[in-house]
Amino acid sequence: MGSARLSARSRRRPWPGRTRARWSKPSSASTTGGSIARRRTRASSGCRPGAGRPGRATPMPLGAALLELLSGLSKALIPGSTAFLLVGLTIGVVLLLRGGRRRVTGRAWLTGLTVFYWVLSLPIVAEGLEAALGAGQRPLESAAQAAGSRHLVVLTGGGATLRGAGGSFDVMSHASIYRMLEAERLYHVLEAPTLIVSGGPAGVGADGNPESEAMKAQLVARGIPEERIWVEAQSPDTHEQAIRVAARLDQEGIESFVLVTSGSHMRRALGAFADQGLTPIPSAAPDGPKTEGLARLLPSAMALGRSEQAIREVLALAYYALRGWLG
């Protein structure tokens, strides 16, 4: 672990897509000293902010388009998801209906699909996948491990805005809740640092309220002063979170920070911030509750959802690597 590192530019980069006034800046916020190497200006390299380090080749338009298509398909057909199951069942039924040798293939296909989903539904498998993704990631246990940092960056992990005739209600995902609880714990361990909560609109189609606003409301309700919380409310994904948070940190002259996200998500988050020239101090939140005893061998809908999310993270890591977004 080390201090967050940020490279210098000839001038402060403006907050992408937002005005400075839309941040609720804590009145008592302080910047923390520490070793830091400011980034070289990207304008001189011809790279757009967040596209990678100077000198890195940017993907060709066709290649980028193919990667975006691949990303869209992978998001829609994650193994373990309902969509993937329905497509698999459809293929199996079609093979059965064709008759002949295809009937045998269809039976084998449906048997394999059933076994596959049964395995993914086991808590021991879901937690094993999460443990593999988050290998080596631990929560900070003392202020000394934070190396003097006085800022926490918390990445949201999904949510939804429920709307009805009487108004709307923001719901955080389990991942967001665990990250919020870890941020609250660190707030007391580090003796009231500034929190930077990052996350854009929740829900499919980004039609919900910002996830970061929902987390801020819960943190305030749990006793953290509102003036100690900044909100970045536009980022749709981890890559954009790293770009926007890095710009804000540079704008404020913040030199070190602790990064809070789920253990299984930490590798990708650290890579995204490394692509911005930063080395955060990680503090991993739990991915979910631990299952004990024989219950670990009994299938459950929660375990299936956690397995699906772990597979989604593996695919996202591969996609970020192909795009050159992992530093």
If one compares 28 and 158, the residue with the highest pLDDT of the two is 158
CA terminus-to-terminus distance, the chain: 16
Residue 264: pLDDT over 80: yes
5-9, 22-26, 198-202, 208-212 — which is least confidently predicted?
Answer: 5-9
pLDDT of residue 76: 75
What is the pLDDT, as a whole number, of residue 49? Answer: 40
Nearest to 155 by CA among 230, 261, 226: 261
Query: By percentage, how much of the chain surpasses pLDDT 70?
Result: 76
Question: Which amino acid type is present at position 159?
Answer: G
pLDDT at residue 294 greater than cutoff 60: yes
Q: Taking the CB of residue 205, how many other CB atoms lie within 10 A of it? A: 6
Q: What is the pLDDT of residues 58-114, one digit of tens each?
A: 455 666 667 667 666 667 789 999 999 999 999 999 999 998 889 999 999 999 999
Could you tell me which residues are beta bridge partners of residue 170?
161
Instruction: Please enumerate in sequence order all residues whose Cβ is within 8 A of that of 83, keeping only pairs 6 or more positions apart, or say none.
Output: 76, 77
Q: Higher pLDDT residue, 321 or 67?
A: 321
Residue 52 has pLDDT above 60, yes or no: no
The pLDDT value recorded for residue 246 is 97
- Within 8 A by CB and 6+ apart from 242, the residues are 50, 269, 272, 273, 275, 276, 278
Model pLDDT, residue 18: 42
**Residue 282: what are its φ and ψ, rounded to 5°?**
-80, 145
Mean predicted confidence (pLDDT) in 249-274: 96
Q: For residue 315, what pLDDT is reported?
A: 94
Percent of the chain beyond pLDDT 90? 67
The overall average pLDDT reported for the chain is: 83
- Helix ranges (H only) for the chain are 61-76, 82-98, 101-120, 123-133, 174-189, 211-221, 238-252, 263-274, 301-323
User: Could you tell me the two tokens for 263?
Assistant: 């253990």
At residue 283, the 3 state secondary structure works out as strand
More confident residue, 27 or 226: 226
Look at residue 266 and tell me whether its pLDDT is greater than 90: yes
d(CA 101, CA 96): 9
With a CB cutoff of 8 Å and minimum separation 6, the contacts of 250 are: 6, 9, 12, 13, 38, 39
Closest by CA position to 317, among listed 264, 244, 258, 277:
264
Identify the residue with better confidence: 14 or 219: 219
**CA–CA gap between residue 105 and residue 89 (Å, rounded):** 13
Q: Name residue 59's amino acid.
A: P
Q: What is the mean pLDDT of residues 301-311?
A: 97
Domain residue spans in the chain? 20-54+138-291
Predicted confidence at residue 8, as pLDDT, reads 39
pLDDT of 50: 41
Right CATH for 20-54+138-291 from 3.40.50.620, 2.60.40.290, 3.10.450.50, 3.40.50.800: 3.40.50.620
Query: How many residues comprise the chain?
Result: 327
Specify the pLDDT at position 204. 55
Residue-wise pLDDT for 3-40, tens only, equals 444 443 433 444 444 434 345 455 444 444 333 334 43
Contact 272, 294 (CB under 8 A): no
* pLDDT the model gives residue 100: 87
**Residue with the larger pLDDT of the pair 203 and 133:** 133
Flag whether pLDDT at 306 surpasses 90: yes
Q: What's the whole-model pTM score?
A: 0.78
Quote the pLDDT of residue 108.
Answer: 97
Q: Which pLDDT does position 53 carry in this prediction?
A: 45
Q: Does residue 260 sit in helix, strand or coil?
A: strand
Q: Which strands sit side by side in the sheet containing 258-262, from one edge to the other?
A: 229-232, 194-198, 151-155, 258-262, 281-285
